[in-house]
Amino acid sequence: MSVATPYFDQLFADNEDPWAFRQRWYERRKRALTLALLTRPRYVSIFEPGCANGELSAELAPRCDRLLCCDTASAAVALAQRRLLGFAHAQVQHSRLPEQWPTDRFDLIVLSELCYYLDADDLGSLIDRALASLTDDGQLLACHWRAPIDGCPQTADQVHALLQQRLGMENVARYHDCDVLLDLWSRDHRSVATHEGLR
């Protein structure tokens, strides 16, 4: 069974930063790695489900023309909205995934620290919805903490293996270490140098 919304509501009940996104070097380094893995300087439309308090969202916002974020915890949505106040092109919605997946099209979907909270059925549904909403040259980035998490139905390794199997897209960039898995899949598998006419 996927982790239910009350779990996340409780995390944010008396803590605006329950995972210490702002303080921990692991978190700040992970965000830098996430941004560095992206093969394009700018995207038309980015979707970041499970945005929490909006720390990664605020770093994705300058890289796109439109940013849509969502979270299942009401307090997280309010925090992310406040974090993104300076970005008129950014929107944060309160929604539970995969059921309330948006109808928009995106050229980048960022699944950061989200998918291991979903059981196999919900993750499969999320992957199907992501594929249906990606543009013809769309990309999907996944980033997950590698250690087992109590109460989570899946591990990072299981999640990334299923994404690799189900997406049917080329893995164009990756960073793996003992703490974190980062993978970028793309429908346009040309390299950065090829895009810039260097190859």
Strands 180-186 and 134-145: antiparallel
Q: Token pair of 30, please?
A: 């992970």
Q: What is the pLDDT of residues 74-94, one digit of tens each?
A: 988 998 999 999 999 999 999
Portion of the chain with pLDDT greater than 70, in percent? 94
Out of 31-35, 112-116, 164-168, least confident range: 112-116
Per-residue pLDDT band for 7 (boundaries 50, 70, 90) equals: low
Answer whether 122's CB lies under 8 Å from 3's CB. Answer: no
> Cα(190)–Cα(34) distance, rounded to whole angstroms?
19
Is the backbone of residue 10 left (phi > 0), alpha (psi -120 to 50) or beta?
Answer: alpha
The phi, psi pair for 168, rounded to 5°, reads 65, 30
Nearest to 82 by CA among 17, 7, 155: 17
Burial of 178 (0-12, 13-18, 19+ CB in 10 A): exposed
Per-residue pLDDT band for 152 (boundaries 50, 70, 90) equals: confident
Fold classification of 5-195 is Rossmann fold (3.40.50)
Q: What is the pLDDT of residues 109-151, one digit of tens each?
A: 999 998 988 999 999 999 999 999 999 999 999 999 999 888 8
Domain parsing of the chain, residue ranges: 5-195
> Cα(46)–Cα(140) distance, rounded to whole angstroms?
10
Burial of 199 (0-12, 13-18, 19+ CB in 10 A): exposed
